[in-house]
Structure 1
Amino acid sequence: MKTNQKVFKLASALLHYPDKTWLKEVAYIEAEINSIEEPVIRSYLQSFLHYMKSTSFDQLCENYVYTFDFHGIVTLNLTYHVFKDSRKRGEALVQLRKIFKESKLEAKSDELPDYLPLILEFLSVAKDEQAVDLLKLHIKSIQKLDQTLTENDSPYHFLLKAVQDVAYRTLQNKHVS
C-alpha cells in the first residue's frame, strides 16, 4: 500500500467517532504509523496516537462530540465549509455522488458524500487520477478544517496535517509511493 493510501486509510478510521476497537488495535495502528517512511507524516500521526493512548475512552468520545458534532467547533462535511446550506452545496453533493458512482467504488454509508472520513476511505483505494480529481475539489476545505482545528488546539489537527501533506504530494507528483 502506498504511503498516501495508508495515511488516508488511517486518518479515515481515526476521524470517525471513537470506537473501543481502537483500543484493542492500538498495536496494529502504531505499527502502521511506524512503517511510514516520511518522518514528518509519521510524526503527525504519532502525535495523534499519543493523544489517543493518553486519553480515557470517555474523554475521547467527549472531545470528539465537542469538536465535530452539529454544534461543535467544526464539521467533517467538507462542502459545508464552502457553501454552508446553500443550493450550491446540494449541487456539490450530487457531483460527489457521481464521482463515487463512476469510479465503481461507490460508498455504502448513511453519511453525506462530503463526509471527510468517507472521502479519505475512497482516496485510500482510488486510482491516482481519481484521487487527484477529488483532492482538487476539497483541498481548500481540508485546509480550512485544519486551520480551525489548529486554532482550537484540537489534537485532530495532527490527522489533518498528515492528510494535507500526502494530499499536496499527490497533487504535485500525481502519486506518492
Structure 2
Amino acid sequence: MRTLKVLSALLTYPTADLVTAGPELKAVLEREAVLPPRERAGVSALVDDLTAHDVYDAQERYILLFDRTRSLSLHLFEHVHGESRDRGQAMVDLLKLYEDGGYTPTTAELPDFLPLFLEYASTLPPAEAIELVGQPGHVFAALRERLAKRSSPYEAVFSALAAIAKARLDEAALAALRAEPDVDPEDLEALDAAWEEEEVTFGPGAAAACGTDTLAARLRQAGRPAPGLEQPPPPRTVVTHRHSGHA
C-alpha cells in the first residue's frame, strides 16, 4: 500500500528532495484512492504547503512540533509506555516484527518511530497493513486532535491514518484532548517541565497492565482512554530518549 509510504515520507524531516517529490506523492494518493476524498485532499494540501514554504522554515516548524512537543512525539511507544521498562521490550518485539517481515530499517531511528512503522506497514498486503495500522489507531486520532488545535497542516496525515484505522474518539476523549494546555515550544523552561512530568500514556497504569509479550497487545494499549479522562499517576522524573538527526 504505497499510500502508507507517502504518509511515512510526509512525517519525516522536511528536505528539498521531499519537496521535489511532491507531485509524485500526490499522484500515488490519487492512483490508489485508498483514502476518502476529504482525507486525500488534506494530505495533498500538506504537500502543497511544504512546497510553498522555504525548506528551512518547514524544518523549523517540524522541530517545534514533533521534536520539542512531547504530546506530539512521533515515537509510538511514548504514547503507550512512556518511560516504563516495558518500553524496551516493546522495542525489541517491534524490531523482531520488522525482521520477521523481511524489513530492515535503513536509519538509526528507534523502531517505534512512526515513519519507520508506516514504511514497514506499506510493505505488507493491504489487509495486513490496515490491521497493523489499526492497532495504534487511538494514538493517531489523539494526535490529529492535538494538531488540529494548533491549526497544523500535519493534522491531515493523522486524519488519513485514523481513517485507515477506522479510529474514532468518543466525546469525552475529544473534550479532554481539546482542553489540554498547549506548551509553547519556544519556552524552554516549560518544555523541560513537560518532559519531566508524568508519562504521556493513554490511561494510568497502561504500561503496568501489559501482561503479554506480543506486539499486538502492546500496541492495542493505545486504545486506552486519552490523557485527562482518568486520574493520572503522580508525576515523576523520566529520562527521555529522543530520535537523532535534528537539532
TM-score interval w.r.t. the shorter chain? 0.7 to 0.9
Residues 29, 129 of structure 1: alpha-carbon distance in 2 compared, 3 angstrom cutoff: closer
* TM-score between the two structures when normalised by the length of structure 1: 0.81
In the TM superposition, residue 132 of structure 1 has moved relative to its aligned partner by 4.7
Q: Which amino acid aligns with 1:80?
A: E
Residues 99, 66 of structure 1: alpha-carbon distance in 2 compared, 3 angstrom cutoff: same
CA contact (8 A) 1:7 1:162 kept: no
1: CA distance between counterparts of 2:63 and 2:86?
Answer: 27
Per-residue CA deviation, residues 49-86 of structure 1 (Å, 9 max, x unaligned), is 23112222121111001101145662100110122111
In the TM superposition, residue 133 of structure 1 has moved relative to its aligned partner by 5.0
Q: Which amino acid aligns with 1:81?
A: H
In the TM superposition, residue 153 of structure 1 has moved relative to its aligned partner by 1.8
2: CA distance between counterparts of 1:147 and 1:94?
Answer: 30
Look up the match of 1:14: 10
In the alignment, structure 2 segments of 5+ residues that lack a partner are: 168-247
Look up the match of 2:48: 50
2: CA distance between counterparts of 1:47 and 1:138?
Answer: 25
2: CA distance between counterparts of 1:48 and 1:82?
Answer: 27
Report the structure number with the largest CA radius of gyration: 2
Q: Is 1:77 aligned to residue 86 of structure 2? A: no
Alignment of 1:1-177 (within 5 A): 5-37=1-33, 38-71=36-69, 74-128=72-126, 130-132=128-130, 134-168=132-166
1: CA distance between counterparts of 2:134 and 2:165?
Answer: 9
1: CA distance between counterparts of 2:158 and 2:46?
Answer: 10
In the TM superposition, residue 151 of structure 1 has moved relative to its aligned partner by 1.9
Per-residue CA deviation, residues 134-159 of structure 1 (Å, 9 max, x unaligned), is 33432222222222222222211111
2: CA distance between counterparts of 1:19 and 1:91?
Answer: 33
Give the number of the structure whose residues are more often helix, by fraction: 1
Q: Which amino acid aligns with 1:30?
A: K
Look up the match of 1:175: none
* TM-score between the two structures when normalised by the length of structure 2: 0.60
Residues 26, 132 of structure 1: alpha-carbon distance in 2 compared, 3 angstrom cutoff: closer
RMSD: 2.2
CA contact (8 A) 1:135 1:167 kept: yes
Number of aligned residue pairs: give it. Answer: 165
SS in 1 for 2:78: helix
Look up the match of 1:172: none
In the TM superposition, residue 129 of structure 1 has moved relative to its aligned partner by 5.6
CA contact (8 A) 1:12 1:118 kept: yes
2: CA distance between counterparts of 1:120 and 1:12?
Answer: 5
2: CA distance between counterparts of 1:11 and 1:156?
Answer: 10
CA contact (8 A) 1:7 1:166 kept: no
